[in-house]
């Protein structure tokens, strides 16, 4: 069987060492061909979100350090905000001979029945669930109405690489003029300094 393509979506505003540490953990724990970072596009309404072109550039700079890391601009290039299932279907067309694994935290797994065509996500794609804290994937599939019996393509993974450092913390520190170089990849730090971002 061909190695999977792992898809990790987010704002990446900016990308942090926590994002890349998680990606490295997944590559180490599973036979993965490519780890795709999927930044949201400009239609995603979130306060303080930098233009997608800048977030893509930061990701690409950081991904140069690892040949398995790549950036997908499917959602960035879309004329509207895509439901996750449509993004995954477009990716499957790009990689027709490889399984697509979608990374999801247990917080989002609980909310999944509210997503468009969520059953198709669970039946046509593998979902790599990051277990955080005391959350157990098996418990969620038992407790949440709408998820029962849909766990055949689920891969539960304990998120060992977990830090309290979020993109929000990095942005706040930058605005306050504080140092962040050990919280984000060096390439991202250099890019932010060069372009005077998050001031």
Rounded CA gap, 51 and 78, in Å?
14
Q: What's the mean pLDDT when you consider all of the chain?
A: 93
Q: What structural domains does the chain harbor?
A: 5-164 (3.40.50.620)
Going by C-beta distance under 8 Å and a sequence separation of 6 or more, which residues neighbour residue 19?
A: 8, 10, 12, 37
Q: Would you give per-residue pLDDT tens digits along the chain (199 residues)?
A: 689 999 999 999 999 999 999 999 999 999 898 999 999 999 998 888 999 999 999 999 999 989 999 999 999 999 999 999 999 999 999 999 999 999 999 989 999 999 999 999 999 999 999 987 788 999 999 999 999 999 999 999 876 656 567 899 999 999 999 999 899 999 999 999 999 999 8
pLDDT score of 132: 79
pLDDT score of 163: 59
pLDDT score of 33: 87
Look at residue 166 and give its three-state secondary structure. coil
pLDDT score of 101: 97
Model pTM score: 0.93
Rounded CA gap, 14 and 171, in Å?
8
């Amino acid at each position: 069987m061909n190695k999977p393509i792992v898809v990790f979506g987010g704002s990446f505003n900016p990308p942090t060492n926590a994002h890349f540490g998680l990606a490295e953990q997944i590559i180490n724990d599973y036979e993965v061909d490519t780890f795709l970072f999927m930044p949201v596009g400009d239609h995603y309404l979130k306060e303080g979100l930098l233009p997608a072109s800048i977030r893509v550039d930061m990701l690409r700079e950081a991904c140069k350090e690892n040949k398995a890391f790549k950036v997908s601009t499917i959602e960035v290039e879309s004329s509207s905000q895509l439901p996750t299932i449509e993004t995954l279907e477009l990716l499957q067309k790009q990689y027709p001979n490889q399984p697509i694994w979608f990374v999801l935290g247990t917080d989002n797994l609980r909310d999944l029945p509210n997503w468009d065509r969520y059953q198709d996500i669970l039946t046509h794609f593998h979902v790599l669930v990051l277990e955080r804290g005391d959350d157990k994937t098996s418990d969620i599939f038992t407790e949440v109405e709408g998820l029962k019996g849909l766990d055949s393509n689920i891969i539960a993974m304990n998120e060992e690489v977990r830090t309290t450092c979020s993109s929000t913390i990095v942005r706040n520190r930058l605005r306050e003029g504080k140092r962040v170089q050990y919280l984000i990849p060096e390439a991202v730090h250099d890019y932010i300094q060069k372009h005077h971002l998050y001031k």
